[in-house]
Chains A and B, each alone.
Chain A
Amino acid sequence: NAGVTQTPKFQVLKTGQSMTLQCAQDMNHNSMYWYRQDPGMGLRLIYYSASEGTTDKGEVPNGYNVSRLNKREFSLRLESAAPSQTSVYFCASRGFPLAGRTYEQYFGPGTRLTVT
């Protein structure tokens, strides 16, 4: 099992360019998440997908869109990149919890994005 994989690992964009960050998981998890990590801010949730076919906004959704392509894949798109979107982006997934159990989120290795 590869767990959660993300591509690319690094990316540099110019202001106004667009790109899509890819995420895939092979654990048959229902829920998937996109976070951004900034110094001194911890991780902030951008969007999440509780199950295939649904997506919802998190804490900081502005400037981003997402697509839950299928159960395995959850992509994050920046339509017009801005320097404020320079960050490290993490994708995570989580299985459906059975009664009385708590399932943790599993994280990918991250994508380091710089917008100049």
Chain B
Amino acid sequence: GNSVTQMEGPVTLSEEAFLTINCTYTATGYPSLFWYVQYPGEGLQLLLKATKADDKGSNKGFEATYRKETTSFHLEKGSVQVSDSAVYFCALNSGGSNYKLTFGKGTLLTVNP
């Protein structure tokens, strides 16, 4: 079956530090890959996505590249801000008529001023 493994948190960084959150996946076929972000007390919002190998998704300074050879979709940001403090979820959608998402367990990021 499908599965997503992302690095365990929590991750604590100082403002302007470099961020990497690792995500690897197992899936049949050619999944689409997503990063969602959940700010405190809110629902999940799509941060970025990639639909095929070597695609790079980007948004708000965050980037992730779909690497089929390593089955990875690591999230990166060059300079984090306090406002980036949130829980980040990696997810995949292996298609089909139901379009279910499989989520990783989430990584809590705290950015200190």
Contact = CB atoms under 8 A, between A and B. Distances in A.
A74 interface: no
B98 A31 contact: yes
A65 to B, nearest CB: 18
B51 A50 contact: no
Interface stretch (B11-19, B37-45, B69-77, B78-86): B37-45
A50 B99 contact: yes
Contacts of B98: 31, 48, 50, 56
Contacts of B36: 107
B97 A41 contact: no
Interface string A79-116: 00000000000101010010000111111111000000
Contacts, number: 52
Given A50-B97, A94-B99, A42 B42 contact: no
Given A102-B51, A104-B46, A109-B43, A43 B103 contact: yes
A31, A40, A104, A106: residue with the most chain B Cβ atoms closer than 10 Å: A104
A45 B43 contact: no
Contacts of A43: 44, 89, 101, 103
Interface in A23-57: 31, 33, 40-45, 48, 50, 56
Contacts of B45: 107
Contacts of B49: 102, 104
Contacts of B106: 42
B42 to A, nearest CB: 6
B105 interface: yes
Interface in B19-48: 32, 34, 36, 42-46
A42 B44 contact: no
B100 interface: yes
B58 interface: no
Interface of B: 32, 34, 36, 42-46, 49, 51, 89, 93, 97-101, 103-106
Q: Which 9 A-B pairs have the closest CB atoms?
A: A107-B43, A42-B105, A107-B44, A42-B103, A102-B32, A104-B46, A43-B103, A109-B43, A102-B51
